[in-house]
Structure 1
Amino acid sequence: MNSPETHEIAELVSDGSQFLAFRLGEEEYGLEILRVQEIKGYSKITPLPNTPHEIKGVMNLRGAVVPIIDLRTRLGMREAEYTVFTVIIVVTVGTKIVGLVVDAVSDVLNVEPEMVVPAPDLGAGVDVSFLTGIARTGDRLVSLLNIDRLVGNASEPAALTA
């Protein structure tokens, strides 16, 4: 339990933490609940020219212009049609507010430190640095995202500095 990855996981879930669980296709992911500002039904997004494919545009959130990132595209998954279950999770990333498009929100998970294992090393060609670990809850495996690394690694032209 002395590796840097294990130390980071221990800090993340030190006294048991809550994560918002959501789905992208058949995969389930979790975000620290304290980073979630709100969950909104999918609504109109204004596209921006000359932005990376995963940045769908911006939306007006009570007067603030918020960049919207499609997490499916950001994670290299196949695009899917948006449905009535598609939502935008509004999160804080540093001093920014960003919206993340996901297929559906599942529930809130209580994650104890012993439930989390480090993300597996899949070799040099596979980047798993955006995962803080994988939580085992019953028969489910939930990939816990490090939203700072995931969104911070996105191409950041004007869309993310809004």
Structure 2
Amino acid sequence: MRDSIKVIVFHMNGQKYGASVMEVLSIEELESITSVPRTSDFIKGVVNLRGEITPVIDLKQRLRLGETERKKGTRMLIVEMGDVKAGLLVDDVSDVMDIDASTIEPAPEVINGVNESFIQGVAKLENSLLILLKMDQILNLEEVNELKQAAEE
């Protein structure tokens, strides 16, 4: 039996990205976001998600890939960063798939402009590449604390 990992496949700027299903708590449709003043540009604000105030991050902006255009297919991946839950805006979510671990290669230093510290590896699919992100590395400790403050305001 081959080792495989189950990933959620999502898109940003037409590129496929993946996150382990173990790191994603849920996938949500975009709700109205309440802005929070004096936060980093990539922190878009907060949403009330089932009674819990949840900060929202534009993942594209955080990875320096532009800004997510909010439209019908836009989704939020709910993840835990440190001890705070956050919603990560992505263009859309398309699939949940098993990736054979042997198809995953280490990340090059920079791929599509994304810093290697955010990338777990790159999986070769039939006709494309899937960039696997390390969700727990998207924010540093200072930024996680900023998220906590945004959720409390």
Q: TM-score range by the shorter chain?
A: 0.7 to 0.9
Distance 2:70 2:125 in 1: 28
Structure 1's 40 and 61: CA in aligned 2 closer, same or farther, altered over 3 A? same
2:84–2:147 contact (8 Å) kept in structure 1: no
2:3–2:100 contact (8 Å) kept in structure 1: yes
Give the residue type in structure 1 aligned to 2:147.
A
Residue aligning to 1:33: 21
- SS in structure 1 of the partner of residue 138 of structure 2: helix
Distance 2:62 2:86 in 1: 13
If the length of structure 2 is used for normalisation, what is the TM-score?
0.87
Aligned residues: 147
2:61–2:68 contact (8 Å) kept in structure 1: no
Which range is displaced more, 101-110 or 151-160? 151-160
2:68–2:90 contact (8 Å) kept in structure 1: no
Structure 1's 128 and 160: CA in aligned 2 closer, same or farther, altered over 3 A? farther
- Residue among 87, 92, 96 paired with 1:99: 87
Structure 1's 134 and 20: CA in aligned 2 closer, same or farther, altered over 3 A? same
If the length of structure 1 is used for normalisation, what is the TM-score?
0.82
Distance 1:127 1:54 in 2: 16
Structure 1's 154 and 84: CA in aligned 2 closer, same or farther, altered over 3 A? farther
Structure 1's 127 and 15: CA in aligned 2 closer, same or farther, altered over 3 A? same
- Larger strand proportion, structure 1 or 2? 2
Q: Could you give the per-residue CA deviations for residues 3-25 of structure 1, whole angstroms, max 9, x where no partner exists?
A: xxxxxxxxxxx931101000001
Give the residue type in structure 2 aligned to 1:46.
T
Structure 2, gaps ≥5 residues long: none
State whether structure 2 residue 63 is matched by structure 1 residue 83.
no
State whether structure 2 residue 99 is matched by structure 1 residue 111.
yes
Q: Could you give the per-residue CA deviations for residues 126-159 of structure 1, whole angstroms, max 9, x where no partner exists?
A: 7311101001111120100001111336734532
Name segments (4+ residues, structure 1) moved above 4 Å: none
1:21–1:106 contact (8 Å) kept in structure 2: yes
Q: CA RMSD in A?
A: 2.1
